Structure 1
Amino acid sequence: MGSYNSSLIFCCQIEKLSDKQCQPESQLKFITEAWLQIVECRRVLKWTYAYGYYLPEHEHAKKQFFEYLQGEAESGLERLHQCAEKELHPFINADGPSREFNDFRTKLAGLTSVTKNYFENLVRALENGLSDVDSNGAASRKATSSKNAARSSKGRGGRGKGTLRSSMSSRMSDDNHWFCEQCTYANVESATACQICNYQRQ
């Protein structure tokens, strides 16, 4: 019954949004997709805590790598949830169509895609038994770099982000785009801040 009521409320909100922003409901699927992604990610995240609890204490490198991936996925999910819930409300309660609605559409669709990628990376790593971390010297080096990354990124509210994400961003960069170190979104070269999370380009 609760699920039915929630669905009914959501449908009413979509109808209201469609009316206020003069957009057909078929053009608002990006909102439904965002919420479906949030629900799925919450379900996955719940089980990752159990996985982390049973990780052997002596496997420090795997634990560091797991916490990094989990932290990335969790922070991405929180940004998506914030956008899909709080940032959507002004458009539902607006007096009429808003010029900012298309920007909101781009941001929410981008966050949905980024969050999906984070969780796919997390699930893939767990399915592989965190095999990206080997049991020899490379494991201890990765654990150390992850720990240093975690320390350096605490000031920005992240967990274990700096070093690993920076190397990933530099690998993915090309002549026409730069990839955000915060959410990995591909921004046009001329942008000075990320179009998704507003992270300032370094």
Structure 2
Amino acid sequence: MEGDQQGPYSVLTRNEVKDKMKKQIDDISGVFYVSKNDATVLFMYLRWDTLRVSERLGEDKDKLLSESGLSSVATDLSDSSWVIINKTSDSHDDDGGLISTPCCSHKFCKTCWREYLDSLEKKNQTVISCPDQDCRAAVGPDTIEKLTAEDKDLYESYILRSYIEENKGLMIKQCPAPDCDYVIEFHQADDVEEYGLNVVCLCGHTFCWRCSFESHRPVTCNNVSDWLSTEVEVSVVDRWEERKIAMEGAQDDLQDFEDYIVKKPDSLKEQDVRIVREGLTLLIQCRQVLKWTCVYEYFHTEHEASKKEYLQFLQDIAIATLQSYLKTLLEETETAFYADAYVLCKFRHNLTTATSNVGNFFYHFIKTLQDGIVDVKVKSYDNVAGPYWLCDRCTYGNSWLDMKCKMCCEASTSTKRKMCCEASTSTKRK
């Protein structure tokens, strides 16, 4: 419901991320007169912190190069273990087929390099040194250039993963949806606090920036963790599953629309496709919110009957609002196919307005819950121990010793207040 390319965060392709990464490398390389190979290794070593790399290069360039494995490493030639490792491969007959880093003399064949790179992928390792376990010489792009195209692609993926996962200078993260290649970048730290609970990727997946789980407003990340690890009532789980199915149905509707547009790209103009897509995406997000309100109800209204009733009332309104919006969306979209200019203009206005109204409704719905449903003033009577009863009209918590609602009777003696007092007396629980 929030966020797009012009909003608090951007959704980037992997190529766009590579361009940002290469610019960062080029800038350091040009300013401090180090090769792009060395700049790449330094960034991986210092977790892509441009300020830190700049400071270390300015303070003691030689020391930093040595620490990061970019200085020549002395090799004990009496130790021929590296020769034994490489002689296990039949892919070479002499040293002409062996490859080493520029900073050491440990030579390995291409087959051994491939096996080494594959082993690093399984370890989820991004900083790469010489395959010899006792050697600290860094493996940079210059070394990989001597290998196969497949090895180059594998190494590039290592660098990109390091840039995304280890970067301390950017707020950037891979979309957690399976098989999604998009990357999310927040522009400011304050935006993460405000919009991080509901990040919308171009693949259609919505997730929480903090815990990488699916978007779970209005509950906290801790609520999600507790929900997934706690046994709850069957009735609550049933409501959760029912709303989960409704959300998945909305996802299927979006996918069906995308498939239809691929098959018949001329059925709607690009502007109209975007409007319908936004509406279908909004339905998914709203269904997702309703799903997580089950968790909110379980954790936040367990001992507050009035708030629980009010939440259920709000949920009913939200569900009815979505059903009405879905009907409008389907009807308006149906009229837009192959329509004339007048009908299209009306369609765009009606659907855009309806989408905005639903988005605003759910924004305030979520905020009401996150604020703790403060409109319902439920309090216990602090001076008397034991349970209390709730006034049906003002929801104030009264002691069992009170025969009338203290809140309703305290401030006014008007007829309306008297009627409230009389009515509340009859509701006192026995």
Report the TM-score when normalising by structure 1.
0.53
Matched, 1:74 2:326: no
Aligned-partner Cα distance in 2 for 1:126–1:16: 43
Aligned-partner Cα distance in 2 for 1:109–1:67: 28
Aligned pair in 2 of structure 1 residues 40, 56: CA closer, same or farther (>3 Å)? closer
| Cα deviation, residue 62, structure 1 | 0.7
1:128 to 352, 357, 371: 371
1:43 to 271, 288, 298: 288
1:15 to 246, 253, 265: 265
Aligned pair in 2 of structure 1 residues 60, 5: CA closer, same or farther (>3 Å)? closer
User: Which is bigger in relative contact order (C-alpha 8 A, separation at least 6)?
Assistant: 1
Once the two structures are superposed, residues 108-158 of structure 1 have per-residue CA deviations (whole angstroms, 9 ceiling, x without a partner) of 111111111121112112212222211259974356xxxxxxxxxxxxxxx
Aligned-partner Cα distance in 2 for 1:86–1:136: 46
Aligned pair in 2 of structure 1 residues 112, 55: CA closer, same or farther (>3 Å)? same
The corresponding residue for 1:200 is: none
1:106 to 324, 338, 349: 349
Equivalent position SS for 2:289: helix
| Cα deviation, residue 49, structure 1 | 2.7
Aligned-partner Cα distance in 2 for 1:25–1:114: 23
The corresponding residue for 2:330 is: 85
Aligned-partner Cα distance in 1 for 2:263–2:363: 29
Q: Which amino acid aligns with 2:262?
A: C
Given that 1:80 and 1:108 are in contact with CA atoms closer than 8 Å, whether structure 2 keeps it comes out as: no
Moved more, 109-118 or 69-78: 69-78
Q: Which has the higher helix share?
A: 1
Aligned pair in 2 of structure 1 residues 13, 108: CA closer, same or farther (>3 Å)? farther
Equivalent position SS for 1:16: coil
Mark the runs of 5 or more structure 2 residues left unpaired by the alignment: 1-178, 180-250, 381-389, 396-430
| Cα deviation, residue 37, structure 1 | 0.8
Give the number of aligned pairs: 137
1:32 to 274, 277, 298: 277
Given that 2:275 and 2:352 are in contact with CA atoms closer than 8 Å, whether structure 1 keeps it comes out as: yes
Given that 1:52 and 1:63 are in contact with CA atoms closer than 8 Å, whether structure 2 keeps it comes out as: yes
Q: Which amino acid aligns with 2:351?
A: L
Given that 1:30 and 1:108 are in contact with CA atoms closer than 8 Å, whether structure 2 keeps it comes out as: yes
Mark the runs of 5 or more structure 1 residues left unpaired by the alignment: 19-23, 144-202
Aligned pair in 2 of structure 1 residues 8, 106: CA closer, same or farther (>3 Å)? closer
Structure number with bigger Rg: 2
| Cα deviation, residue 41, structure 1 | 0.7
Once the two structures are superposed, residues 63-109 of structure 1 have per-residue CA deviations (whole angstroms, 9 ceiling, x without a partner) of 232123222222221122112224412432x4x52633322222211
Aligned-partner Cα distance in 1 for 2:342–2:263: 19
Aligned-partner Cα distance in 2 for 1:14–1:140: 57
Aligned-partner Cα distance in 2 for 1:139–1:69: 20
Aligned pair in 2 of structure 1 residues 10, 70: CA closer, same or farther (>3 Å)? farther
Once the two structures are superposed, residues 144-202 of structure 1 have per-residue CA deviations (whole angstroms, 9 ceiling, x without a partner) of xxxxxxxxxxxxxxxxxxxxxxxxxxxxxxxxxxxxxxxxxxxxxxxxxxxxxxxxxxx
The corresponding residue for 1:148 is: none
The corresponding residue for 1:118 is: 361
Q: Which amino acid aligns with 1:61?
A: S
The corresponding residue for 1:177 is: none
Given that 1:83 and 1:108 are in contact with CA atoms closer than 8 Å, whether structure 2 keeps it comes out as: yes
Aligned-partner Cα distance in 1 for 2:309–2:265: 45
Aligned pair in 2 of structure 1 residues 106, 61: CA closer, same or farther (>3 Å)? same
| Cα deviation, residue 47, structure 1 | 1.4
Aligned pair in 2 of structure 1 residues 84, 17: CA closer, same or farther (>3 Å)? farther
Aligned pair in 2 of structure 1 residues 15, 51: CA closer, same or farther (>3 Å)? same
Aligned-partner Cα distance in 1 for 2:255–2:284: 16
Backbone CA RMSD of aligned residues? 3.5
